[in-house]
Structure 1
């Protein structure tokens, strides 16, 4: 896009953060490439050169270097992102009334200089503010958004007086092979209800190439109803004023964030939890509130007793002889229903099924005892 290699820092991070030494004209050419649907046009200082008789000696359109750099879909997404930067981001002071503006602010370290590069449906312009020598700094607190963007807006607003607003790239994004998806900003995957519960990192809706759009759902966010009495998963018997929804972000070893120091990780993600567990395993590992329960058993105790009873009945059915088929089928149905209920934490669902299995098992034991007594002639 017109920048020579010796102007580009060899490190990718430096290029991404804007530390390469591009001139304003080179930056303008790069941004115009984006606005021009991904096609680079060499910036020239003339349109035509004529001789004394009016003959065209040089025509900029004929000698200008022009070539495609981005796909049109890529250029459209870049414009879409930078339009948001002006609408609600750091570039709001570059807004022009009744005119679409896209752009990006820049602030060098230690307030050495500030930048704004922006585009409209008609023009691209870049603005750099600084001193000839980097040792001389701007005032403390200077930024591209507060110093460069307003200056850019001041002259660009006058240039656009009387011009009609239109899209910078006038194209239906779906015709470019783009689809819109709502994603989790932490995982980059499709957002879930748990993602919506993270107040600091709300899901965002973005455009993607069809082949690059995420298809899997976020497996990092988990939202659980926690009872403050025990800092444990709440049951239906926990008082409402003791229960709140708590959002967790699961950071696993394959995530680069896993190796961050807590000082930085928890500053960015206060609800982060390092774990090797899957989402289901993490939920299962959480303690359930045993403080609040209906009756003599807590939900935790009821689930334990239910599991023990299921094992007892299963062992009995596997070893006992002469069990009536109808009673065996009833008990197996009881066990299946209770196992389904045990996957949750609803006391009111588990307790009656536990009682039914207990009663039906007792009835079988009584019937088998009577059968034995009758067989002995008693």
Structure 2
């Protein structure tokens, strides 16, 4: 270790039980971070500053203005850019000795095992249940530890899943919540400091596992309530009734969402931005339904769309009976997928825009305002 490295890590090497050996283990470690958003913005710089040798970042999203209040790894100059590239540049400025592997793709059942095979530990900073269950199962099959966390409004939680040594995420949450029952950040909001607190806990757990210091959160979850300032530790054990994990599944279907696997016919209910543009240009009969909030529609909307926020759709679905088939859209395609189920259960023919208005603004109308 050179003089610059000794000086950089001097304060943590002096910690009781840490020392040069733990620092060397961090330098040799390879960590994959899922998501460069709210949690990733705290996790990634913390790992780089601590001296983790290689950090992989997997995310297919781009930076938007509404991200910046909590995603501090990005700045105004990064709007519209790939999040993984923006995060990589931030790491390079913070610690040029950390190697960053940029993976501009969405983690799914087709690539997870191949990606996980190259890393010692995975940190899941995603914002959706399909990815959380996928990350747990892929980590279990790969035999590596998974640090996970989640935030919602004023609260958050974090834990460690390590199938070889204790309970997993599935033991704590055997089944996902019904679609639409847990608001996303764009629906319910999130206090930015909650992301920072939970992200820091997640980075700490990773450092503990990699260096061997302390007692990792195996079989326990730490929760944080920002409104009261209280932390709570909840211990849990293995679920004796849990089915063994033998392979990866369709996690969209497992979580009650429309499948993204073309082989199961999902394409019939999901339009790409290009397909919608072609149908609109050709005069295909349709009604556009926007299920975002009014403030979102004020920023950007497709011409002629009817606005019914997802939270009101159940009570107003009769307004949409009869008439031309519906194409429903939202910001990223998550709420519209939930709306699709509701419309179809009411017997109303509908499809939805995959990727939402975000995909439309990136691939069809770059001049459209983004948020």
Q: TM-score, normalised by structure 1?
A: 0.23
* Larger relative contact order (Cα-Cα within 8 Å, sequence gap ≥ 6): 2
Question: Which structure has the greater CA radius of gyration?
Answer: 1
